[in-house]
């Protein structure tokens, strides 16, 4: 059975849990106690030398990088709905998976980490700068969703799970964009039982 190392407040973990749950794939979840430095222990560094979650272990195969894990699971389980294999669906799915990592993730982290999770140690200037830069990213998302139910077409894919896992995080900073296409899309993903299961149980 898959062994997943994750943390409930981690958006990168959330997308993997969402897919495993949505696809009904059996796995054992090991919560890495990040608040207590569980990701920095020798034991965990042997699992992931980047001291990050998530990490997935599949027998002798050990894989980190959340979007790579999503692709791996889809190929391994032939989840073509979640990861289209050809055509525009494939192109858009790949594009948005990478866009999420390259264009959105760091800005989201800079905001939420500094405004919320680091408390009095947060760098509010860094958060303000990131907020300025993230707004045009929301415009790109809103425009793309014009006339599209999901980022890669008419069905949800791993690109949606990946993006929505980051967008959820913005709720902690009360920064979820209130524009109609993003809200409609996010609501649909948020209602997926697998996505619900991936959220911190408070
Ligand atoms: N590119 C990685 C990023 C993973 C990541 O940043 N994980 C965060 C939690 S959301 C983490 O473990 N941070 C601890 C650290 O970097 O020391 C991925 O997509 O999996």
Cβ–ligand 1 contact at 10 (below 6 Å): yes
Task: Name the residue of 5, 7, 8, 12 to mutate for ligand 1: max ligand atoms within 8 A of Cβ.
Answer: 12
Nearest to 12 by CA among 37, 48, 59: 48
Whether residue 194 contacts residue 25, with contact meaning beta carbons closer than 8 Å, is answered with no
pLDDT, position 201: 81
Per-residue pLDDT tens for 176-201? 999 999 999 999 999 999 999 999 98
Q: Where in the chain is the domain with CATH 1.20.1050.10?
A: 87-196
Q: What is the CATH number of domain 2-76?
A: 3.40.30.10
DSSP string of 123-192, one letter each residue: -HHHHHHHHHHHHHHHHHHHHHTTT-SBTTBSS--HHHHHHHHHHHHHGGGT-----HHHHHHHHHHHTS
- Going from the Cα of 198 to the center of ligand 1, the distance in angstroms, rounded, reads 16
Cα–Cα distances (Å) from 152 to 19, 74, 85, in that order, read 16, 15, 12
| CATH 3.40.30.10 domain range(s) in the chain | 2-76
pLDDT tens-digit map of 47-98: 999 999 999 999 999 999 999 999 999 999 999 999 999 999 999 999 999 9
Residue 62 pLDDT: 97
Instruction: Give yes or no for residue 162 CB within 6 A of ligand 1.
Output: no
The answer to whether residues 166 and 82 touch, using CB atoms and an 8 Å cutoff, is no
For ligand 1, say whether the CB of 11 is within 6 Å of any of its atoms: yes
Nearest CA to ligand 1 atom 16: 52
pLDDT 10s digits, 96-124? 999 999 999 999 999 999 999 999 999 99
Per DSSP, 114 falls in state I
Contact 89, 153 (CB under 8 A): yes
Tens of pLDDT, residue by residue over 134-166, are: 999 999 999 999 999 999 989 999 999 999 999
Q: In this structure, how many other beta carbons lie within 10 angstroms of the beta carbon of residue 61?
A: 10
User: Which residue has the CA at smallest separation from atom 15 of ligand 1?
Assistant: 52
Q: What is the pLDDT of residue 1?
A: 97
pLDDT score for 202: 67
pLDDT of residue 181: 98
CA of 149 to the centre of ligand 1 (A): 29
In the CATH hierarchy, which fold is given to the domain comprising 87-196?
Answer: Glutathione S-transferase Yfyf (Class Pi); Chain A, domain 2 (1.20.1050)
Task: Check if 52 has its Cβ closer than 6 Å to any atom of ligand 1.
Answer: yes
């Amino acid at each position: 059975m898959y062994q997943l190392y994750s943390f409930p407040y981690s958006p990168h973990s959330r997308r993997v849990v969402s897919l495993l749950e949505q696809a009904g794939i059996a796995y054992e979840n090991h919560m890495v106690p990040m608040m207590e430095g569980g990701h920095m222990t020798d034991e965990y560094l042997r699992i992931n030398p980047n001291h990050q979650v998530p990490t997935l272990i599949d027998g002798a195969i050990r894989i980190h990088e959340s979007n790579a894990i999503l692709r791996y699971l889809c190929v391994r389980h032939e989840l073509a709905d979640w990861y289209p294999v050809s055509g525009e669906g494939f192109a858009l799915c790949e594009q948005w998976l990478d866009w999420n990592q390259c264009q959105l993730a760091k800005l989201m982290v800079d905001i939420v980490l500094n405004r919320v999770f680091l408390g009095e140690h947060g760098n509010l200037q860094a958060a303000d700068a990131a907020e300025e830069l993230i707004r045009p990213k929301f415009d790109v998302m809103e425009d793309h969703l014009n006339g599209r139910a999901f980022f890669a077409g008419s069905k949800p894919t791993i690109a949606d799970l990946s993006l929505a896992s980051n967008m959820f995080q913005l709720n902690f900073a009360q920064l979820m964009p209130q524009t109609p296409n993003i809200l409609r899309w996010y609501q649909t993903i948020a209602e997926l039982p697998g996505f619900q299961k991936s959220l911190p149980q408070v």
